[in-house]
Amino acid sequence: MRIHIQGIALLGAVFLVLLGIANWAAPVVNEAFSSEGAIQATSSPEPPIGSEAEADDLPLNTEEIAQLQTLLESIDYDMGGVDGIIGPRTREAIDQAKLDLSATPGIRSTSSDRKLLDRLIVLTESG
Looking at the domain assignment, is residue 68 inside a domain?
Answer: yes
Looking at the domain assignment, is residue 37 inside a domain?
Answer: yes
Q: Is the pTM of this model over 0.75?
A: no
- pLDDT tens digits, residue range 6-61? 888 899 999 999 988 888 888 777 766 666 655 555 555 555 555 555 666 778 88
What is the model's pLDDT at position 49?
A: 57
Same domain, 21 and 60: no
Name the phi and psi angles at 33, rounded to 5: -100, 5
Q: What percent of the chain has pLDDT over 70?
A: 72
Same domain, 34 and 77: no
Same domain, 32 and 58: no
Looking at the domain assignment, is residue 46 inside a domain?
Answer: no
Same domain, 58 and 113: yes
Same domain, 59 and 87: yes
- pLDDT tens digits, residue range 65-106? 999 999 999 989 988 889 998 889 999 999 998 888 877 666
Domain count of the fold of the chain: 2
Same domain, 107 and 76: yes
Same domain, 91 and 118: yes
Same domain, 59 and 34: no
Same domain, 64 and 83: yes
Query: Is 62 in contact with 117 (CB distance < 8 Å)?
Result: no
Query: Is 104 in contact with 116 (CB distance < 8 Å)?
Result: no
- Those residues whose C-beta lies under 8 Å from the C-beta of residue 117, and which sit 6 or more positions away, are 60, 64, 67, 68, 71
Looking at the domain assignment, is residue 47 inside a domain?
Answer: no
Q: Which domain holds residue 105?
A: 52-126
